[in-house]
């Protein structure tokens, strides 16, 4: 998925230019961790650009859950939706999600691409 397409989706979802700038910074950092040929760089790029797409709806923890739903509604596929849903901090277990009034499901990054995006997001200042 091209950067321009991701940015258009972020705008369509209602994300501010500050959120978009943050997503670009997360993408730039995430790609520095994606040198291994077994890592899907295209997935990391799209997932990093879209990881905060739910911030067009809310700026609380529910932005990840909302973002996954938005990705699915846009037909982006489960791999991108999973990156978006699992990028919060080091991830949240189903019990931790329940305590935060989120859907009770495991939101801990599982794939290397999910882990790279979550880690990059933790290191980049901003939203």
Tell me, what's the pLDDT at 97?
Answer: 66
Q: What are the beta bridge partners of residue 107?
A: 92
**H helix count then E strand count, the chain:** 7, 0
- Across 3-127, the runs of DSSP E, i.e. the strands, are none
86 within 8 A of 115, measured Cβ to Cβ: no
What are the extents of the domains in the chain?
3-123
Tell me, what's the pLDDT at 76?
Answer: 98
62 within 8 A of 54, measured Cβ to Cβ: yes
Tell me, what's the pLDDT at 127?
Answer: 55
Provide the whole-model pTM. 0.90
Tell me the per-residue pLDDT of 84-114, one tens digit each, with 9 for 90 and over: 999 986 776 777 767 777 777 777 899 999 9
Please write down the long-range contacts of 55-59, taking CB distance under 8 Å and 24 or more positions apart. Answer: 55/15, 55/16, 55/19, 55/127, 56/10, 56/13, 56/14, 56/15, 56/19, 57/13, 57/14, 59/127
Q: Which residues of the chain have pLDDT under 70?
A: 89, 92, 97, 126-127
d(CA 16, CA 29): 20
């Amino acid at each position: 998925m091209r950067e321009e397409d991701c940015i258009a989706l972020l705008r369509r979802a209602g994300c501010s230019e500050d959120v978009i700038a943050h997503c670009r910074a997360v993408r730039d950092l995430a790609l520095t961790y994606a040198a291994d040929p077994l890592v899907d760089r295209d997935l990391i790029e799209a997932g990093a650009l879209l990881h905060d797409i739910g911030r067009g709806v809310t700026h609380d923890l529910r932005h990840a859950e909302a973002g996954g739903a938005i990705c699915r509604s846009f037909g982006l596929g489960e791999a991108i939706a999973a990156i978006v849903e699992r990028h919060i901090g080091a991830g949240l277990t189903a019990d931790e999600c329940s305590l935060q009034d989120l859907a009770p499901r495991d939101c801990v990054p599982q794939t290397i691409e999910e882990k790279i995006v979550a880690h990059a997001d933790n290191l980049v200042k901003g939203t």
